Amino acid sequence: MGGPGFEKNALRGVAADFKTLRQSDLRHRDVEFPAVTSLAEKAERLRLLHRPGQPLLLVNVWDAATARLIERAGFPAIATTSAGIAFSRGYPDGQRIPRDEMLAEIARICRAVSVPVTADLEAGYGDSAEAVARAAARALDAGAAGLNLEDGTGRMEEPLFELGRQVEKIRAIREAGRRRGVAIVVNARTDVYLDRVGPESGRLEETIRRGAAFRDAGADCVFVPGVKEVGLIGEIVRRLACPVNVLAAPGGPSLGELAKLGVARVSLGSGAMRAALTLVERIGEELRTEGTWSALDGALSHSRVNELMG
């Protein structure tokens, strides 16, 4: 790479991959909340930010530095990316990172910012409701006001956890929060579309079946990654009649379209982390092939980052 066709400002080039999320749309400018300090207050703040038609926008972070950058940019809440944290520590995605390592990074992120943090706990690091409740309690101890729980198993022979077991996990998480006086915000994810489970013709009904059960078990929001079709997203939002989270990706609906559909939460997942890795790859390739480093143009200054972390 490099030469005349090389992106002169790779930072802007990577950002362009997410052009459907315009900067002017990424500010909750009409929302002004007083500062909160307790975890219970942060959980309630996070819950209130889930407004159908005015979605909560989340740039998922993977360490303290990215968390502070996103907070400084004016976002009212922060989400972690389990894949991004795993990648940064040398593990593949899919609950391969040890639970304690994941929770340690979540704790560092929570300490680095003052806004509410929702933590991606993958499938809860255990098959039983008791194990998931222990992980949720640890996330609360780390400072997380909310969490993601997915129903994907990572096993081809049984791609999704049995629905009754998943419902038990959600209830156990809510109970773990109640014992600590925190109404932890549960974002319950179903991987029906993401993992292409079952015949395509039956995926909508299975998504609704699972999402409704998660909602009735106490989930505050239902996360359905892997859907891009406007009509399909609208049908899911309408039939679940609760806050719905959509994963933003190039080629998907714009933020304006998602808002009109009544989506309550839009997140980037591991997208920002993968974009950052793309930039590093471009820097290395330009240096190796051209002996230049134009991809560093526009990078944050050392003094700014040092001040940010100070």
Instruction: Please report the pLDDT score of residue 18 as a whole number.
Output: 38
Q: What is the pLDDT of residues 86-99, one digit of tens each?
A: 999 999 999 999 99
Q: Could you say which residues of the chain have pLDDT below 50? A: 1-30
User: Of 190, 154, 155, which Cα lies nearest the Cα of 169?
Assistant: 190
Instruction: Please report the pLDDT score of residue 36 as a whole number.
Output: 74
Q: Using alpha carbons, list the distances in angstroms from residue 171 to 23, 82, 113, 132, 245.
A: 37, 22, 28, 10, 20
- Bridge-based pairing of strands 244-247 and 265-267 is parallel
CB 184 within 8 A of CB 199: no
User: Of 12, 47, 58, which Cα lies nearest the Cα of 225?
Assistant: 58
- Could you say which DSSP state residue 113 is in? -
Prediction pTM value: 0.89
Instruction: Please report the pLDDT score of residue 25 as a whole number.
Output: 44
Contacts of 190 (CB under 8 A, 6+ apart): 150, 151, 160, 207, 210, 211, 214, 222, 223, 224
| Alpha carbons 193 and 124: distance in angstroms, whole number | 20
Coil, strand or helix: which one is 256?
helix
| Alpha carbons 224 and 243: distance in angstroms, whole number | 11
β-strand partners of 80: 61
